[in-house]
Amino acid sequence: MIIGFLGTGAISEAIIRGLCDKANYSDRILISQRSPERSTKLALDYDQIEVVNENALLVEKSDWVIVAVLPDQVEAALGKLTFRSDQKVISLAAGISLARLSEWVFPCTKVSRAIPMPPIEFGMGPVALCPQDPSIEALFGQIGTAVSVSDEEQFNLFGAASALMADYFDQVATVSSWMESHAMEPDTAVRYTTSLYHALASLTLGQTPDALKSMSDECLTPGGLNEQFLRTRMASGSCDSLKTGLDDILARLESSTGSTS
C-alpha cells in the first residue's frame, strides 16, 4: 500500500517517524515537496520515502491520502485534485467536516478524520478517528491508541480535549518554576516534577470509568495535603474552568463543522 501525505508539516513528520521508527513500517510513503527542509530530511532518513513535486501526482500514486495541510488550506489544496473511488482520504484538519471533505474528494467516498497528537512520533498517545474503519485503526494502532467513534459530534469531544496540551505543559513547567522560585536548583526541580507528572499520568492508563473517578478520592486523606490543595483549587474556580474551557473549544469546533449539539 502507498500512503501519500498532502502537506509535510509537523504532524506529518511525527506520524512518519512514528511509523518508520516505532512500528517498522516498510511500505512506500509519498510526501509533498513542501516545507523543503523537513521533506528533504525525511527522504534522507528513510529509504521508503519519496518526495513528490506535484499534489496531483501524489494523489494519483497513493492508495491512501492523508490530508495534513492547515484547515484554511484544505479547500484550495483538495479542490484542484482528482481522487478515485478506490482510495481512502484521511483528513487531519481541525474543524473540517466529513461532509465538506466528501464534496471535495468525490468520487472517493471512504473519507475519515483523524486527530493524531505529537507523541505519536514516539509511538504514544491517542489517535481519534471518525468514522470507525478497522484498516485505519490498524495503521494508527501501531503508533498510538486508536480510539474511533462513528458520530462526528462525538469526535468533536476528542478535538476539544486535544487542546489540553499547552495547559498541561504549562502546569508541569509552573510547578517546576515554583520550586526554582524557592531557590531549588532548576535541574533538580525539573527532574522531580516531570517524573511526578509522568508517573501519575501512567497510573490513569487502562483504568475503568469508575476506577478513574475514584482515583482522586483515594488520595484525599481527611485533613491531608492533597485534600487541602484540591479544596484550594476548587475554591479558586480552576476545576470549573477546565470544563468551561472544554465547552468553549467544543462550541468553536461545532460551529466550524456545522454540528448542532
Ligand X SMILES: NC(=O)c1ccc[n+]([C@@H]2O[C@H](COP(=O)([O-])OP(=O)(O)OC[C@H]3O[C@@H](n4cnc5c(N)ncnc54)[C@H](OP(=O)(O)O)[C@@H]3O)[C@@H](O)[C@H]2O)c1
CA distance 26 to 191: 36
Q: Whats the size of the chain, residue-wise?
A: 261
CA distance 29 to 47: 9
Task: Considering the complex, state which of residue 30 and residue 108 has its C-beta at the smaller distance from ligand X.
Answer: 30
Task: Considering the complex, state which of residue 119 and residue 131 has its C-beta at the smaller distance from ligand X.
Answer: 119
Encoded one letter per residue, x for contact with ligand X by CB under 6 A and - for no contact, window 66-95 reads --xxxx-x---x--------------xxx-
Q: Alpha helices, DSSP H only, in 130-205?
A: 134-141, 152-161, 165-181, 186-204
Is 128 within 8 Å of 155 (Cβ atoms)?
yes
Closest approach, Cβ 68 to ligand X, in A, equals 5
Provide the pairing of β-strand 3-6 with 88-91.
unpaired
CA distance 116 to 25: 17
If you count DSSP H runs as helices and E runs as strands, how many of each does the chain have, helices first?
Answer: 12, 8
Encoded one letter per residue, x for contact with ligand X by CB under 6 A and - for no contact, window 172-201 reads ------------------------------
Interaction of residue 3 with ligand X, rule CB under 6 A: no
User: Which of 2, 9, 43, 184 contacts ligand X by CB under 6 A?
Assistant: 9
Q: Which amino acid is at 243?
A: K
Interaction of residue 144 with ligand X, rule CB under 6 A: no
Q: Which of residues 38-67 bind ligand X (CB under 6 A)?
A: 55
User: Which of 2, 23, 28, 35 contacts ligand X by CB under 6 A?
Assistant: 35
Task: Considering the complex, state which of residue 154 and residue 177 has its C-beta at the smaller distance from ligand X.
Answer: 154
Closest approach, Cβ 217 to ligand X, in A, equals 33
How far is residue 82 from each of residues 59, 68, 85, 103, 113, measured CA to CA in Å?
A: 7, 17, 10, 12, 19
CA distance 97 to 162: 17
User: Which of 29, 52, 59, 115 contacts ligand X by CB under 6 A?
Assistant: 115
Q: How far is CA 148 from the centre of its chain?
A: 13
Residues of this chain that interact with ligand X (CB under 6 A) are: 6-12, 32, 34-35, 55, 68-71, 73, 77, 92-94, 115-118
